[in-house]
């Protein structure tokens, strides 16, 4: 009995230590991932941020985002959904970028922008699908206005053409888009443009591949939040495999970058071996890289 009690106490101490690290330490241990991609284009430096879940109070997250966005070489900023956790996060959106990117900043919305989640959604909703989301969308107009004032153009199932840079950016609104509608958007893009897609939740990725997109950026998975050695992400909450829960990978001729995210729903803000992050992706002309 004595050894059982001692073992139970040791296990409890280990669990509390793990929980403290996962809840307090790693959630504030922000990282910047620097990646390179050789592809046929004029060359861009892209800052990809996602899943900010802005709400009061904010401090460490804003400091990190301002620091990473200070790079004068950043041409584009892509924000791929779950920007806000609730309306208390609206004032912070103006503080996430310390300088404007050289070309522009673009965003799409995610499920946490549309839904006001309660504890029941985050607990019983894991078991009963009809409780996974609240029954109604909330008013997103204040969020759209705040993003616009902060210099972001929100793309909701629309395409932005930038002739000067031979660049096309398609934004997929949450949760996804039909293949027919997506085809209508891609049909507007000239053949010699670099085709980029922004989305929140990784769903129907085959549509993106089928329509010849060059690079696609997404979020939602938080990289799995909790990863195990040799196994990877326990859950991806999407159609992605554990291996592709975050990072850069390729499906046929399309590259995908899935962000770890810089935040999380405060009700489930636990991370292990999956630090919050932002990514700077250097996209370069493949012919110049090879030479």
With a CB cutoff of 8 Å and minimum separation 6, the contacts of 290 are 38
CA dihedral 160, 161, 162, 166 (to 10 degrees): 130
- pLDDT above 90 coverage of the chain, percent: 87
Query: Tens digit of pLDDT for each residue in 86-121?
Result: 999 999 999 999 999 999 999 999 999 999 999 899
Query: Tens digit of pLDDT for each residue in 172-223?
Result: 999 999 999 999 999 999 999 999 999 999 999 999 999 999 999 999 999 9
Q: Quick one: tokens of 47?
A: 């800052």
Q: Is domain 2-290 in CATH 3.60.21.10, yes or no?
A: yes
Tally: H helices and E strands in the chain:
8, 14
**83 φ, ψ to 5°?**
-70, -45
Q: How many residues does the chain have?
A: 291
| Domain boundaries defined on the chain | 2-290
Query: Tens digit of pLDDT for each residue in 174-187?
Result: 999 999 999 999 99
As a whole number of angstroms, the distance between CA 42 and CA 202 comes to 27
Q: Do 118 and 131 contact (CB within 8 A), yes or no?
A: no
pLDDT exceeds cutoff 90 at 129 = no
Q: Do 192 and 212 contact (CB within 8 A), yes or no?
A: no
Q: What is the pLDDT of residue 215?
A: 98
Partners of 198 in the beta sheet? 171, 217
Query: Tens digit of pLDDT for each residue in 156-169?
Result: 999 999 999 999 99
| Angle at alpha carbon of residue 229, lines to 227 and 231, rounded to 5° | 70
What value does the mean pLDDT of the chain take?
Answer: 94
- Per-residue pLDDT band for 289 (boundaries 50, 70, 90) equals low
pLDDT exceeds cutoff 60 at 291 = no
As a whole number of angstroms, the distance between CA 78 and CA 152 comes to 9
- Range list of H helices, the chain: 2-20, 60-68, 111-114, 119-122, 141-149, 179-186, 205-210, 286-290
pLDDT exceeds cutoff 70 at 70 = yes
Mean pLDDT, rounded, for 11-23 = 95
Q: Residue 47, SS3?
A: strand
Distances (CA, A) of 283 to 34, 45, 77, 152, 200: 11, 6, 13, 21, 21
Instruction: Name which of 229, 223, 238, 225 is nearest 267 in CA terms.
Output: 225
> What single-letter DSSP state applies at residue 166?
T
Q: Residue 198, SS3?
A: strand
> Is the entire prediction scored with pTM above 0.85?
yes
- Per-residue pLDDT band for 288 (boundaries 50, 70, 90) equals low
Per-residue b or e along 77-89, where b marks 16 or more CB atoms closer than 10 Å to that residue's CB: bbbbbbbbbbbeb
């Amino acid at each position: 009995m004595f050894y059982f009690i001692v073992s139970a106490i040791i296990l409890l101490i280990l669990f509390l230590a793990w929980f403290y690290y996962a809840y307090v330490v790693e959630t504030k241990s922000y990282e910047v991932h620097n990646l390179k991609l050789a592809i046929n284009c004029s060359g861009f430096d892209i800052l990809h941020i996602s899943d900010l879940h802005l709400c009061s109070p904010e401090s460490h997250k804003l400091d990190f985002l301002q620091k990473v966005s200070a790079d004068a070489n950043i041409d584009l900023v892509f924000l791929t959904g779950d920007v806000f956790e609730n309306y208390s996060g609206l004032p912070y959106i103006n503080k996430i970028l310390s300088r404007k990117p050289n070309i522009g900043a673009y965003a799409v919305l995610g499920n946490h922008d549309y839904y006001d989640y309660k504890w029941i959604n985050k607990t019983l909703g894991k078991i009963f699908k009809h409780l996974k989301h609240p029954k109604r969308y909330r008013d997103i107009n204040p969020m759209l206005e705040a993003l616009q004032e902060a210099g972001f153009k929100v793309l909701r199932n629309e395409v932005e053409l930038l002739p000067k840079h031979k660049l096309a950016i398609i934004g997929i609104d949450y949760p996804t888009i039909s293949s027919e509608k997506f085809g209508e958007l891609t049909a507007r893009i000239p053949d010699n443009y670099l085709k980029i897609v922004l989305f929140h939740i990784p769903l129907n990725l085959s549509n993106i591949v089928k329509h010849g997109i060059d690079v696609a950026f997404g979020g939602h998975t938080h990289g799995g939040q909790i990863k195990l050695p040799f196994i990877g992400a326990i859950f991806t909450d999407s159609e992605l495999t554990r291996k592709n829960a975050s990072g850069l990978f390729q499906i046929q001729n399309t590259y995908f970058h899935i962000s770890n995210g810089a935040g999380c729903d405060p009700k489930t803000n636990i991370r292990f071996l999956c630090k919050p992050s932002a990514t700077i992706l250097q996209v370069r002309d493949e012919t110049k890289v090879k030479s």
